[in-house]
Amino acid sequence: MATVLVVTSGKGGVGKTTSTAALGVALAQAGQSTVVIDFDVGLRNLDLVLGAERRVVFDLVNVVQGEAKLAQALIRDKRVETLSLLAASQTRDKDALTEDGVARVIDELREKFDWIVCDSPAGIEKGAGLAMRFADRALVVTNPEVSSVRDSDRIVGLLDSKTLRAERGEKMEKHLLVTRYDPARAERGDMMKVEDILEILAIPLIGVIPDSEEVLKASNLGAPVTLSAPSSLPARAYLEAARRLRGETIDVTVPTEKKSLIGRLFGRRVA
Amino acid sequence: MNLLGFLQRKPSAPVARERLQILLAHERATNGRPGLTNLLKDEILAVIKKHVAIDPEKVQVKLDSQGGVSTLEIDIEMPARAKPAA
């Protein structure tokens, strides 16, 4: 049974693409056949973060418009063979996507993959709407920052009203992924704590990714952090989040360098 | 920062949290689910109208969500003596 997961946030620059790539690798490495789709038509970047930018021949728009077959547009990762990428078009705009066309592509992907991870563009316009439209579950990526939390709250409202599942009266499972978290600043009172964000957004926590220079290094290299530095703190946080996505119950911790703080529990279980 | 400034330093995170809580309580009411409040209002009104003559202007429907619990508040002003609708 395939799961369509949308990675969304409202606000730009919070780590949707980074998280899509890192989690895509983590799921695929666990033996799940996984496809990551870039819905940011006109501003594609998932290909670059995955190091596949020179391998894109056909893209999502080509498939939606019937100009290429799905098999021609899927790019198999060279390092993790269970991972595929469906890139966005760089030369078209969001209007090139139609609801029927995207529905057809998602249906076809459901036949082939265990996980279909949709990397949403920022904003709440057509591209973001189509990225979440057919999702079974949603990952809401949020930074501990007022504008990001506000936009995430708006996105949660849209997930509960504008998705196919919501319209059918079915449950839309939502997970909160806090990224760029700095436990030391949160402890000093200069950054909202994970608990604060959880209380405001009121959706279950799937992971906390610490702010780390490893993340920028990984995108420089075109290898998600779960692949390029699997023992680094952010990679470990992503790997655990992927296990929770697959249904394992692991307490959410904020990985820190100091041994004494490892295992600092939040006392909250993920859904 | 001098020593006095350091001692008087107030953490900014609680301010962020409080501002968000106030702002979002308002925003959720207006655009949490566009159209839902009006839809509920119309349908509830239709049901009540079947049995009691009421003034549509005197009906308040409010959706609120706090701490993971959503509440639906319906306030209908009944006529002095509720009469069955004709």
Tell me which of A111 and B2 has the higher pLDDT: A111
Q: Give me the mean pLDDT over the A202-224 stretch.
A: 96
The DSSP element (H or E) to which B13 belongs, if any, is helix B13-31
Q: Given the DSSP bridges, would you call strands B69-76 and B59-66 parallel, antiparallel or unpaired? A: antiparallel
* B27/A150 touch (CB, cutoff 8 Å), yes or no: yes
CA-based R_g, chain A, Å? 17
Chain B positions touching A154 (Cβ under 8 A) are 27, 31
* A146/B20 touch (CB, cutoff 8 Å), yes or no: yes
Tell me which of B56 and A23 has the higher pLDDT: A23
Q: State percent of chain A over pLDDT 90.
A: 89
- Choose, out of A154, A182, A203, the residue to mutate when testing the contact with B (most B CBs < 10 Å): A154
pLDDT 10s digits, A141-166: 999 999 999 999 999 999 998 999 99
Output the average pLDDT for chain A.
93
Q: State percent of chain A over pLDDT 70.
A: 94
* B28/A193 touch (CB, cutoff 8 Å), yes or no: no
Supply φ then ψ for residue B4, to 5 degrees.
-65, -45
**What's the per-residue H, E or C state across A54-106?**
CCCCCCHHHHHCCCCCHHHHCEECCCCCCEEEECCCCCCCHHHCCHHHHHHHH
* B24/A153 touch (CB, cutoff 8 Å), yes or no: yes
Q: Which of B27, B32, B28, B83 is nearest to B55 (CA)?
A: B83
A21 to chain B nearest CA, in Å? 30
Chain B positions touching A160 (Cβ under 8 A) are 33
Q: Is the ipTM value over 0.85, yes or no?
A: no
Q: What is the pLDDT of residue B68?
A: 56
Q: What is the pLDDT of residue A267?
A: 42
- Choose, out of B24, B30, B40, B63, the residue to mutate when testing the contact with A (most A CBs < 10 Å): B24
Chain A positions touching B32 (Cβ under 8 A) are 157
Q: Give me the mean pLDDT over the A4-21 stretch.
A: 97
Q: What is the pLDDT of residue B84?
A: 62
HSE value, Cβ hemisphere, 13 Å, CA-based, for A262: 6
Closest residue in B to A148 (Cα) is B20
* A150/B14 touch (CB, cutoff 8 Å), yes or no: no
Q: Give me the mean pLDDT over the A187-214 stretch.
A: 95
Chain A positions touching B13 (Cβ under 8 A) are 186, 189-193, 196
Counting every residue written for chain B, the total comes to 86
| pTM of the model as a whole | 0.81
Q: Give me the mean pLDDT over the B42-70 stretch.
A: 75
Is the separation of the CB atoms in A143 and A179 below 8 Å?
A: yes
Chain B positions touching A189 (Cβ under 8 A) are 11-14
Chain A positions touching B21 (Cβ under 8 A) are 200
pLDDT of A24 strictly over 70: yes
Q: What is the pLDDT of residue A271?
A: 41
Is the separation of the CB atoms in A12 and A123 below 8 Å?
A: yes
pLDDT 10s digits, B11-38: 999 999 999 999 988 888 766 555 566 6
